[in-house]
């Protein structure tokens, strides 16, 4: 018995690897234990991307082609005609949305990150009470603040100006931004900030050179969430704007629909163009967005 225990095993790592390959990825999909999971993922992806694929197909059709076969491919494609007409109609609204979402996102990131850093790294009287009073605002439905916001914007003389969207968006994004970033800054090692202070860095230098570089991922996450929320807003722009040239893309698409309600090709081409900026944004910021949610650095 002792001699059998002392004898080296005949199963080498190479043999184990070959056996794992024969029993793992070399097996057909339907013989694997996780086949149903993969099939569910493929089905979910198909259901997710099929509507957008059909949208692109419909954007290449003429009105006659759409009436004959709305879902299948039809030749010839009317790519240039449809997308040129759609771009001429909605490009001003896309520019407006870029201004509103970009300006408000910069303001939210700047103010929320600095405020969250103060709440996380400084001590002052009633700090926790003030923080929880800010967090309570998350519980208030946005629809309840529409009338007070409108009265405030009207009193300041901001109706029918771009600031009527940018400033309320900045103010509205502060609560969630402070909540998210304060937890992140509080989870960072205190030794980093103490070392910077020992080296002679002031509070603003510590914030600029230590806190902000460490928070790129979570700032990217907050930026994507803020852009998506402001880009798709349709209620507040209809309240504060009477000038159609100032409307954002969501409201502009309703005007576009009324003009092209039976010209299906340019109408669906406009929908594709309206979705492209958000797709490009997520493609650029997807690494930061996923890292911000999956790194485990944010402890809520």
Residue 99 binned pLDDT confidence (cut-offs 50, 70, 90): very high
Q: Does 21 have pLDDT greater than 80? A: no
pLDDT of amino acid 158? 92
- pTM, rounded to two decimals: 0.79
Domains of the chain: 2-67 (no CATH), 79-294 (1.10.3720.10)
Residue 27 binned pLDDT confidence (cut-offs 50, 70, 90): low
pLDDT of amino acid 150? 93
Least confident of 25-29, 184-188, 273-277: 25-29
Spell out a b/e string for 119-137, using b for 16 or more CB atoms within 10 Å of the CB, else e. Answer: bbbeeeeeeeeebeebeee
Mean pLDDT of the chain: 82
Q: Tell me the HSE value of 121 on the side-chain side, using a 13 A CA sphere.
A: 24
Residue-wise pLDDT tens digits, 228-248: 889 989 999 999 998 888 999
Residue 297 binned pLDDT confidence (cut-offs 50, 70, 90): very low
CA distance 257 to 58: 15
Task: Report how far apart, in Å, the C-alpha atoms of 163 and of each of 126, 154, 236, 271, 281 are.
Answer: 33, 11, 12, 26, 23
Angle at 24 between CA 18 and CA 30, to 5 degrees: 145
Contact 225, 112 (CB under 8 A): no
Q: Does 157 have pLDDT greater than 60? A: yes
What six digits make up the tokens of 259? 């003009």
CA distance 194 to 196: 5
Q: Does 152 have pLDDT greater than 90? A: yes
CA distance 141 to 259: 34
What number is the average pLDDT over the span 99-108? 94
CA distance 108 to 167: 10
Residue 59 binned pLDDT confidence (cut-offs 50, 70, 90): confident
Q: Closest Cα partner for 211 from 177, 229, 185? A: 185
Residues 6+ apart with CB under 8 A from 236: 146, 149, 165, 168
What number is the average pLDDT over the span 282-287? 78
């Amino acid at each position: 018995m002792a001699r059998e225990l002392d004898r080296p095993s005949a199963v080498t790592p190479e043999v184990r690897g070959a056996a794992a390959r024969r029993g793992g990825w070399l097996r057909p999909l339907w013989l694997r234990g996780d086949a149903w999971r993969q099939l569910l993922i493929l089905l979910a992806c198909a259901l997710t991307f099929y509507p957008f694929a059909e949208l692109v197909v419909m954007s290449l059709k003429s009105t006659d082609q759409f009436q004959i076969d709305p879902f299948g491919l039809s030749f010839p494609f009317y790519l240039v005609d449809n997308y040129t007409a759609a771009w001429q109609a909605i490009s001003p609204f896309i520019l407006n949305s870029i201004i509103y979402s970009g300006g408000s996102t910069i303001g939210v990131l700047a103010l929320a990150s600095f405020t969250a850093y103060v709440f996380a790294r400084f001590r002052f009287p009633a700090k926790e009470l003030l923080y929880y009073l800010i967090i309570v605002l998350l519980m208030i439905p946005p629809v309840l603040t529409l009338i007070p916001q409108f009265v405030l914007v009207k009193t300041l003389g901001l109706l029918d100006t771009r600031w009527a969207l940018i400033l309320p968006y900045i103010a509205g994004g502060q609560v969630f931004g402070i909540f998210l970033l304060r937890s992140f800054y509080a989870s960072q090692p205190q030794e980093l900030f103490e070392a910077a202070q020992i080296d002679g860095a002031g509070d603003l230098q510590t914030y600029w050179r230590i806190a902000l570089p460490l928070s790129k991922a979570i700032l990217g996450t907050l930026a994507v969430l803020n852009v998506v929320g402001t880009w798709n807003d349709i209620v507040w722009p209809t309240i504060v704007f009477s000038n159609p040239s100032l409307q954002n893309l969501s409201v502009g698409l309703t005007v576009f629909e009324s003009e092209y309600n039976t010209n299906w090709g340019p109408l669906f081409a406009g929908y594709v163009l309206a979705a492209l900026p958000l797709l490009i944004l997520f493609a650029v910021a997807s690494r930061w967005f996923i890292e911000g949610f999956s790194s485990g650095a944010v402890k809520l």
